[in-house]
């Protein structure tokens, strides 16, 4: 079972400043975290212990997976970063695609 994790230190363009995505098999966790200023204010600072304050968990086979991810991410950050994060997720796991005939 494939496991992937990626963290975006977005800063002022994101509520809390940090978004982490964890993918385990078909389960996708999108986690909003508060920037830990005690570790520094730069993007190079170690934010691995930043406090989680919100989370959305979806399954890649859910027919509404794209809508759920997009709505959650655009609530946390800008459309640009939401699209960037969804593109990364799609590079790691196949999201449900409805077939229109």
Tokens at residue 59, please?
Answer: 């399954």
In a domain, 54, yes or no: yes
Other beta carbons less than 10 A from residue 82's beta carbon = 20
In a domain, 17, yes or no: yes
Detail the DSSP E strand segments found in the chain.
3-9, 17-24, 27-34, 52-59
Average pLDDT of the residues in 14-41: 94
Note the pLDDT of residue 48: 83
**Consecutive H or E run containing 77:** none
Model confidence at 101, in pLDDT bands (50, 70, 90)?
A: low
Average pLDDT of the residues in 39-54: 87
In a domain, 98, yes or no: no
In a domain, 100, yes or no: no
Report whether 19 contacts 10 (CB < 8 A): yes
Residues 31, 29: Cα–Cα separation, whole Å: 6
Note the pLDDT of residue 41: 80
State phi, psi for 23 to the nearest 5 degrees: -120, 125
Q: Which residue segment(s) compose the domain that 66 sits in?
A: 3-92
The structure's pTM equals 0.91
């Amino acid at each position: 079972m494939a496991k992937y994790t990626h963290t975006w230190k977005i800063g002022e363009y994101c509520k809390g400043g940090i978004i982490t995505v964890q993918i385990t098999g078909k389960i996708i966790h999108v986690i909003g975290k508060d920037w830990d200023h005690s570790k520094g204010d730069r993007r190079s600072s170690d934010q691995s212990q930043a406090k989680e304050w919100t989370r959305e968990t979806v399954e890649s086979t859910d027919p509404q997976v794209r809508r759920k991810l997009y709505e959650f991410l655009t609530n946390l950050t800008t459309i640009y970063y939401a699209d960037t994060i969804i593109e990364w997720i799609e590079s790691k796991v196949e999201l449900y695609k409805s077939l229109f005939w």
